[in-house]
């Protein structure tokens, strides 16, 4: 074997590092291996509540759930600081794709700890930043899309902000954005205008005007297709050459796990092409979770992908775009792109997603969806008043519980939380219950156990009504 040329290489190859990793893996296995679903410990309750109250006071608002993690878990199971162990079926809203305390990820995070800096940024990046860009671009173009560039960033909102800056510069003179009804784009001042939720922009000034197009409605297939096309044409005619792009989620996440057939999107994309309006796929929630790495690949819309954003499961967020849109120097930059551990985790996750059998009609994502949906459908057949749906694709799973009101969804979520399952809401009218399981970790047995708890919870609430 060649002698390492760099000190960093010789550090990584030092046998003490391998030995330390082995010891840490063993320690983790011993302690995480003990975990099983259980309720909180009575003697920890007072301190736990005090910590939650203090957190609420410091941040100015209570946390959505009384959730403070202890720092350990096993697969989909997570231990809370009150000693309770729950099934995490929301994974930090789609982030923790490896689940909790993943042994291989531990190795990688030790490598990250051995690197020289916690954070990487635009001025100083290590080779893993290059590798993540390379992996994302290769994955994005594997069915023929032409996304030449990848700009890393620290949040989904920043990836979307960067995309909009690129688009506005490319379409100099444009001032408006096109988006779908029920869109969610992030929490910045501009993105809160694109997000179709008035309460998320209460009190904020209007920044960039957004023209909304109705989304597909499976109960009114033809009409909704026509309504979307008519609205798009009307916006394009009313404001000629004024739109920087059409920002779309191909499976709407916060909007309620709505999707549409390829034809619905294609008709709109063709219209946009004719008007020379760029097409922008926000894949921050969908990336990795559908039946292909990117939802535009699943829907075979690769040729329309002018600009794409990813985040969440990728740990580091990114904007991918074609050469024609490459912005002038100075437009994009920032102190942090990501932490070294996030970058090394991203590399691991992207490799697992590429090689781990997740995609296609029989891939793991489709199996996960089917396992949940078979149970939901059985429950719906037996109790049509209790559940409707299911909705979603692959590792994005949702149902509507009972009357579908936002109040009922919150009640169901808190009852589930008490019973040991963490899920979250999506959409409004109806508000759905959604699951974003940890794709690399979740087992069929865990899905069955979660469905048992869900069924008992919903039936109990139904009887109490």
Ligand X SMILES: Cc1ncc(COP(=O)(O)O)c(C=O)c1O
Identify the residue among 73, 75, 84, 311 touching ligand X (CB under 6 A). Answer: 311
The Cα–Cα gap between 245 and 227 comes to: 19
Residues binding ligand X: what is the number (CB under 6 A)? 15
Closest distance between ligand X and the C-beta of residue 155, in Å? 4
Closest distance between ligand X and the C-beta of residue 311, in Å? 5
Closest distance between ligand X and the C-beta of residue 188, in Å? 8
Q: Is 161 in the site for ligand X (CB under 6 A)?
A: no
Closest distance between ligand X and the C-beta of residue 199, in Å? 16
Closest distance between ligand X and the C-beta of residue 253, in Å? 4
Query: Which residue spans within 128-255 are E strands per DSSP?
Result: 149-153, 176-180, 210-213, 243-248, 251-252
| Stretch touching ligand X by CB under 6 A, among 47-55, 153-161, 198-206, 453-461 | 153-161
268-287 residues in contact with ligand X (CB under 6 A) are 282, 284-285
| Stretch touching ligand X by CB under 6 A, among 182-190, 199-207, 260-268, 432-440 | 182-190
The Cα–Cα gap between 256 and 392 comes to: 8
The Cα–Cα gap between 19 and 26 comes to: 11
- DSSP for residue 3: P
Q: Site map for ligand X, 336-375, x if CB under 6 A?
A: ----------------------------------------
**Complex with ligand X: residue 94 or 99, whichever CB lies closer:** 94
**Segment (H or E) for 57:** helix 45-59
**Complex with ligand X: residue 287 or 359, whichever CB lies closer:** 287
60-119 residues in contact with ligand X (CB under 6 A) are 93
Identify the residue among 87, 168, 170, 184 touching ligand X (CB under 6 A). Answer: 184
406-465 residues in contact with ligand X (CB under 6 A) are none
**Complex with ligand X: residue 48 or 424, whichever CB lies closer:** 424
Regarding beta strands 338-339 and 119-120, do their DSSP bridges make them parallel or antiparallel, or are they unpaired? Answer: antiparallel
Q: Is 294 in the site for ligand X (CB under 6 A)?
A: no
Closest distance between ligand X and the C-beta of residue 191, in Å? 7
The Cα–Cα gap between 159 and 321 comes to: 11
Q: Would you call 462 exposed, middle or buried from its count of C-beta atoms within 10 A (0-12, 13-18, 19+)?
A: middle
Identify the residue among 185, 213, 269, 425 touching ligand X (CB under 6 A). Answer: 185
Which residue's C-beta sits nearest to ligand X?
156
- CA 409, distance to chain mean position in Å, is 20
**Complex with ligand X: residue 188 or 443, whichever CB lies closer:** 188
Closest distance between ligand X and the C-beta of residue 10, in Å? 37
Regarding beta strands 176-180 and 243-248, do their DSSP bridges make them parallel or antiparallel, or are they unpaired? Answer: parallel
Among 183, 181, 188, 185, smallest CA distance to 205 is for 188
| Stretch touching ligand X by CB under 6 A, among 156-164, 256-264, 362-370, 432-440 | 156-164
**Complex with ligand X: residue 156 or 293, whichever CB lies closer:** 156
Residue 143, φ and ψ in degrees, nearest 5: -115, 15
Q: Is 297 in the site for ligand X (CB under 6 A)?
A: no
**Complex with ligand X: residue 428 or 457, whichever CB lies closer:** 428
Exposure of 269 in the CB half-sphere (CA atoms within 13 A):
20
Tell me if 453 sits within 8 A of 416, measured CB to CB. Answer: yes
Closest distance between ligand X and the C-beta of residue 268, in Å? 18
Tell me if 95 sits within 8 A of 88, measured CB to CB. Answer: no
Closest distance between ligand X and the C-beta of residue 186, in Å? 4
**Segment (H or E) for 433:** strand 432-435
Q: Would you call 335 exposed, middle or buried from its count of C-beta atoms within 10 A (0-12, 13-18, 19+)?
A: exposed
The Cα–Cα gap between 222 and 270 comes to: 17
Q: Is 157 in the site for ligand X (CB under 6 A)?
A: yes
The Cα–Cα gap between 99 and 318 comes to: 22
Identify the residue among 125, 155, 290, 431 touching ligand X (CB under 6 A). Answer: 155
| Stretch touching ligand X by CB under 6 A, among 15-23, 69-77, 178-186, 271-279 | 178-186
235-264 residues in contact with ligand X (CB under 6 A) are 249, 253-254
Tell me if 296 sits within 8 A of 137, measured CB to CB. Answer: no
Q: Find the farthest-apart pair of alpha carbons in the chain and give their distance in angstroms, rounded.
A: 72
The Cα–Cα gap between 72 and 54 comes to: 22
Closest distance between ligand X and the C-beta of residue 381, in Å? 31
Among 95, 97, 43, 101, smallest CA distance to 69 is for 101
Which residues contact ligand X by CB under 6 A?
Answer: 93, 155-157, 160, 184-186, 249, 253-254, 282, 284-285, 311
């Amino acid at each position: 074997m060649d002698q390492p040329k760099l000190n960093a290489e010789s550090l990584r190859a030092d046998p003490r590092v391998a030995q330390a990793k082995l010891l840490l893996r063993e320690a983790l296995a011993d302690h995480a291996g003990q975990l099983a679903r259980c309720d909180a410990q009575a003697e920890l309750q007072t301190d736990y509540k005090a910590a939650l109250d203090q957190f609420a006071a410091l941040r100015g608002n209570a946390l959505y759930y009384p959730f403070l993690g202890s720092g350990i878990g096993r697969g989909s199971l997570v231990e809370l600081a009150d000693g309770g162990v729950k099934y995490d079926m929301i994974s930090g809203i789609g982030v923790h794709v490896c689940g909790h305390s993943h042994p291989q990820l531990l190795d990688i995070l030790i490598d990250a700890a051995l690197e020289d800096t916690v954070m990487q940024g635009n001025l100083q990046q290590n080779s893993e930043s290059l590798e993540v860009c390379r992996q994302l671009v290769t994955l994005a173009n594997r069915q023929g899309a032409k996304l030449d560039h990848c700009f890393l960033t620290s949040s989904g909102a920043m990836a979307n902000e960067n995309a909009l800056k690129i688009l506005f510069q490319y379409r100099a003179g444009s001032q408006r954005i096109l988006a779908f009804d029920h869109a969610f784009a992030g929490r910045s001042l501009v993105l809160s205008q694109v997000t179709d939720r008035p309460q998320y922009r209460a009190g904020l000034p209007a920044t960039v005007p957004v023209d909304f197009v109705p989304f597909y409605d499976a109960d009114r297939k033809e009409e909704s297709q026509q309504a979307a096309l008519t609205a798009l044409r009307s916006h394009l005619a009313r404001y000629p050459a004024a739109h920087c792009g059409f920002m779309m989620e191909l499976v709407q996440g916060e909007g309620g796990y709505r999707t549409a057939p390829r034809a619905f999107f294609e008709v709109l994309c063709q219209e946009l092409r004719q008007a020379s309006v760029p097409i922008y796929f926000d894949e921050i929630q969908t990336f990795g979770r559908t039946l292909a790495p990117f939802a535009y690949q699943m829907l075979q819309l690769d040729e329309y992908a002018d600009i794409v954003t990813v985040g969440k499961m990728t740990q580091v967020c990114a904007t991918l775009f074609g050469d024609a849109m490459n912005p002038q120097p100075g437009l994009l930059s920032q102190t942090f792109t990501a932490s070294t551990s996030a970058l090394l985790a991203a590399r691991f996750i992207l490799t697992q997603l590429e090689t781990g059998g997740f995609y296609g009609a029989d891939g793991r994502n489709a199996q996960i969806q089917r396992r949940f949906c078979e149970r939901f459908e059985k429950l719906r057949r037996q109790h049509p008043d209790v559940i409707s749906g299911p909705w979603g694709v692959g590792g994005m799973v949702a149902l509507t519980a009972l009357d579908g009101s936002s109040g009922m969804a919150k009640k169901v979520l808190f009852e589930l939380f008490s019973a040991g399952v963490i899920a979250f809401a999506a959409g409004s009218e109806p508000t759905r219950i959604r699951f974003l399981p940890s794709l690399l970790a979740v087992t069929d047995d865990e899905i069955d156990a979660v469905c048992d708890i869900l069924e008992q919870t919903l039936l109990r609430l139904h009887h109490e009504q």
